[in-house]
Amino acid sequence: MQYFEDIEVGRKARFGHYEVTREEVVAFAERYDPQPFHLSDEAAAQTHFGRLSASGWHTCAMTMAMVVENLKAHGQAGLGSPGIDELRWLKPVYPGDTLTCETEVIDKRASRSRPEMGSYRSRMTVLNQHGEPVMTFVSIGLIRTRPAD
């Protein structure tokens, strides 16, 4: 199990593998972001996207799926997150793309009021199969400190 004390500023990691499908892009858009360029090849062809593209919010959701799989695989004493900063969608994500994540811990701090926890910030970059960044953000994670026993 990884605790606050195990978090190292500057640590980098690469993880995840998410294959983006047309069916999932359309289903997400139908439910959460029903803009024409997320629903129709014809409508998307008339925009700067040029073809059907995933919603940026869908890209966030696919990234979260990879983050959770990584946390489950490595056993972290996580306590959730109060949010993210600096979210940027840099390039469209298309059906057929394969996404991966790169992260770097940029700082951490112990809680002054809650000694059982701390927080850390990481810069996340989501890449497509060509190694091109498609999304970036800074995540804030809450994590337990190592139990005394």
DSSP structure string for 71-140: HHHHTB-B---SEEEEEEE-S---TT-EEEEEEEEEEEEE-SS-TTEEEEEEEEEEE-TTS-EEEEEEEE
pTM of structure: 0.92
Residue 117: what pLDDT? Answer: 93
pLDDT tens profile 49-96: 999 999 999 999 999 999 999 988 888 888 889 999 999 999 999 999
Q: Does residue 34 lie within any of the structural domains?
A: no
Tokens representing residue 149 in the block: 């026993």
Task: Tell me if 29 is assigned to some domain.
Answer: no
pLDDT of residue 75: 80
45 lies in some domain:
no
Domain count, the chain: 1
Contacts of 24 (CB under 8 A, 6+ apart): 58
Quote the domain boundaries for residue 70.
4-20+55-144
Residue 50 counted as domain residue: no
Quick check: is 119 in a domain?
yes
DSSP state of 47: S
Higher pLDDT, 108 or 77: 108
Model pLDDT, residue 74: 80
Within a domain: residue 39?
A: no
User: Quick one: pLDDT at residue 7?
Assistant: 94
Nearest-CA neighbor of 49 among 97, 6, 2? 97
Give tens-digit pLDDT for 21-56: 999 999 999 999 999 999 999 999 999 999 999 999
We report the CATH number of the domain holding residue 101 as 3.10.129.10
Asked if the structure places residue 73 within a domain, the reply is yes
pLDDT value, residue 58:
98
- Does 33 map to a domain? no
pLDDT at 149 over 80: no
Helix/strand/coil for 142? strand
